[in-house]
Amino acid sequence: MNTETTSPFNENPKFSLYLVHPRYFLTWLGMAILYSCKNLPYSLITKLGSSLGLLMLKLTPHRKEITQTNLKVCYPNKTEGEINDLVNKNFQNLGIGLFEMGIAWWSSKKTIRSLQNKFINKELLENTQNNKGTLVLMRHSTHLELDIRLMCLDSELGGMYKSQSNAVVNYLMIKARNRYVKGAVDNHGARKAISWMQQGYNFMYAADQDYGIKVSEFIPFFGVPSATVTLPENLSNTGIKVVLADVSRNASGFDIEIHEINPKTEKNQFLREMNECYENIISTSPDQYLWMHRRFKTRPDGQSAIYSKWKSRDIKRQKRREQRD
């Protein structure tokens, strides 16, 4: 492994004329609206976001179906009415999350601090072991961008991001995060992030999605065998502390609680505890979780596809990846 001793740094995105192509007019318009709304009273933002979320529910039936499927898989004892109610609330939170993204990207530190209430076990971010850093696990909440900004208020944290297909959104996301994230890498920069943690720097990483079987083990997630990325367990085995950050929204703002996941000697035991911790956090406010992604896309041999409608599309995508590789 490369053991470079450089401190975490951010690579600034480069502006190009391609970003002002007419195809991105609506994107720029949407971003301008989010920017102009960042100083509105939070109560008004939640109302606007809720209305936007219900509109998204009508305009994206495929995302609605994935959300319903995930909720039925994870909460099999809930009635159809309860599932539908959760779907509606979830999309309302997605709409609110878009406005919160504008707050996270462009609001002042003072404004962000006003949204934070409790911060429990904050010392777990400050106490390192063996002079190594800490891996801070995040969940894909509907307000993830604001979660990241809140976590970086008083702590130096690096973070991994997935490049966005929309070039304007990708440019603005990286430019905004570079203001408060110290050491941002895309999903191909794992080696760099690991090197920084080995030097004592802390790093945020979301380990609650399906990243494919090549980097995962099948571990129960809400009772369902799910492709679970092994990176957190591997890092724990090298002496890097691993914690999970629970950032939750309530009527008065945001509460943060840090949970430590201790090293384990038995293979995959760490991953089982990690998934259980994710489950507990998600279930306290399931309407605030990002259910629209296909968490159970990768299935063990012999098990039927959970998202059968999209199976043929996945096969085509896999063939294209193999051709590129």
> Which stretch of 21-30, 195-204, 315-324 has the lowest confidence by average pLDDT?
315-324
69's tokens: 């499927």
61's tokens: 């039936």
pLDDT, tens only, 10-38? 788 899 999 999 999 999 999 999 999 99
pLDDT for the residue numbered 187: 81
Q: Give the start-end residues of each E strand in the chain.
A: 116-120, 134-138, 157-161, 184-186, 202-206, 216-221, 224-229, 241-250, 253-261
Tell me if the pTM is above 0.85.
yes
pLDDT, tens only, 167-184? 999 999 999 999 999 988
pLDDT, tens only, 86-144? 999 999 999 999 999 999 999 999 999 999 999 999 999 986 768 899 999 999 999 99
Looking at residue 295, the DSSP 8-state letter turns out to be T
How many whole angstroms from its chain centre is CA 100?
Answer: 14
| pLDDT above 90 (res 73) | yes
pLDDT for the residue numbered 126: 83
pLDDT for the residue numbered 3: 46
| pLDDT above 60 (res 50) | yes
| pLDDT above 90 (res 316) | no
> Which stretch of 1-5, 75-79, 258-262, 307-311 has the lowest confidence by average pLDDT?
1-5
pLDDT, tens only, 152-166? 999 999 999 889 999
Q: Tell me the Ramachandran region of residue 302: left when phi exceeds 0, alpha when psi lies from -120 to 50, beta otherwise.
A: left
pLDDT for the residue numbered 2: 45
Phi then psi dihedrals of residue 206, to 5 deg: -95, 115
Buried b (16+ CB within 10 A) or exposed e, 9-34: ebeeeeeeeebeeeebeeeeeebeeb
322's tokens: 């193999």
In DSSP terms, 247 is beta-bridged to 256
pLDDT, tens only, 264-311? 999 999 999 999 999 999 999 999 999 999 999 999 999 999 997 766
Nearest in space to 119 (alpha carbons), one of 247, 244, 243, 205: 247
Helical packing angle, 61-74 and 80-106, nearest 10° = 120
Alpha carbon distance 59, 53 (integer Å)? 10
